[in-house]
Every structure is written in C-alpha cells, then in structure tokens.
C-alpha cells in the first residue's frame, strides 16, 4: 500500500475531486506520503483522511493539502512561503516543490526534530525550520508571497497579516464549531477575505513545547 502505483491512484482521485493544478499533483506524486505517518498507519497514508501523528496533531488529508497548496499557487511565482504548523512535514515537503524558499514554524519540538530528519532523507534543502510560536509568524524572514496555516483560528493576528507582501495571500482555516477554509489577499488598499468550503482542523495554540 506504499507503492508508486498507490500514490498515482491518490493523484487520480485528487483530479476527480477537482484539483486541477498539475504542478501540485506532480509534486504530490513524487513525495512518499507514508514516511510522514506512524509505521502502523503507513497502509492508510494514501487514503483521503486525516491521520494522527502524536501530540494531539494530525496529518491533513491529501485533498486538504492539495487544495490549500492550489489556493496558494494562484500566484505561480512563489519566492518565499511561510507555513505555520510544520507538523509531520508533509505539507512542508509539498510547498518545497512549488516555492523557492519555505519557512516553517512548529511549536512542538519533538515533531520538528522528526520532520527535520524526514526532509533530510528526502534531500529537500530549500526549507528552513524553526521551533517557535507560530502565532508570531517569522517577521525576520518576511514578508512572504504566501502564508499557510495548518491549524484553525478564530482570527488572524495583525502581526501575521503584516508579513504578507502586497499581492500575496494567506490560506487558513477559521471558525469554532464550524470551520471554513479562508483566503486573505493583501492589496494596496488593505485585505480582502474569501470564505470557502467547510473543513476540520486541530486548534491553533500559542507557546512552545520543548519535550
């Protein structure tokens, strides 16, 4: 269940589900998703479901990863992207295929350590990982052409909005009981928000966990 053939079935399913960006599909077709989940769950890695990755976190379903990446890549010339919530690193690896530089912030130290090893094994070298509070973003590396947030929030801190370039966008889930995928676009006048389909993410939390 971890073969290239299985991966290609996932790609065909994503096409059937409406993912049209062939750059995203090609990127996901080259990344072995099963190495980003626990060994006991490897046989389910290519199913269209979110799976637990310890510390109360999940790896998003393939469709969510593809959808968020596709929304980000409306601007095809992504020089710098910020990911808030590295998690297991699968979304990070996909971003590394579509952006020149990826900066990713994770608050849970042990998750970041594992992800660093996985990305090294895949020889992905254009990703910069930081153990920090994602609510603060990464101002020292910004501003960014795009920001992806992989946990749900009720509002986006102004500090993060200021780290988007004019013409850039942020993709994130927003809500409480009901969550929706949202896009915030920054223009010369300010910010425009678009609310999209319903989703389900773990909550965005502040602070850092070292062990």
Active-site residue set: 60
Is the separation of the CB atoms in 2 and 44 below 8 Å?
A: no
Give the three-state DSSP class for 17. coil
Nearest to 149 by CA among 179, 113, 109, 191: 179
- Residue 4: exposure state from Cβ atoms within 10 A (0-12, 13-18, ≥19): exposed
In the block, tokens 């910020």 appear at: 82
Distance of alpha carbon 141 from alpha carbon 60, whole angstroms:
26
Distance of alpha carbon 11 from alpha carbon 146, whole angstroms:
24
Q: How far, in whole angstroms, is CA 208 from its chain's centroid?
A: 19
Distance of alpha carbon 101 from alpha carbon 150, whole angstroms:
18
- Residue 71: exposure state from Cβ atoms within 10 A (0-12, 13-18, ≥19): buried
């Amino acid at each position: 269940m971890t073969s290239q053939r299985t991966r290609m079935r996932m790609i065909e399913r994503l096409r059937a589900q409406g993912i049209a960006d062939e750059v995203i599909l090609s990127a996901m077709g080259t990344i072995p998703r099963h190495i980003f989940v626990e060994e006991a769950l490897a046989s389910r890695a290519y199913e269209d479901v979110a799976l637990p990755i310890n510390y109360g976190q999940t790896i998003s379903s393939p469709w969510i990863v593809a959808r968020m990446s596709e929304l980000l890549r409306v601007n095809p010339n992504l020089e710098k992207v910020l990911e808030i919530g590295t998690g297991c690193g699968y979304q990070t690896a996909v971003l590394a295929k579509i952006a020149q530089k990826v900066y990713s912030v994770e608050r849970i130290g042990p998750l970041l350590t594992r992800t660093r090893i996985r990305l090294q094994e895949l020889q992905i070298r254009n990703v910069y990982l930081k153990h920090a509070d994602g609510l603060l973003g990464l101002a020292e590396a910004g501003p960014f052409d795009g920001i992806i947030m992989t946990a749900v929030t009720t509002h986006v801190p102004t500090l993060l909005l200021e780290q988007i370039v004019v013409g850039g966008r942020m993709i994130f889930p927003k809500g409480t009981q009901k969550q929706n995928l949202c896009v915030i676009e920054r223009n010369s006048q300010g910010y425009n928000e678009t609310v999209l389909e319903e989703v389900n993410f773990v909550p965005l939390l502040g602070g850092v966990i070292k062990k």
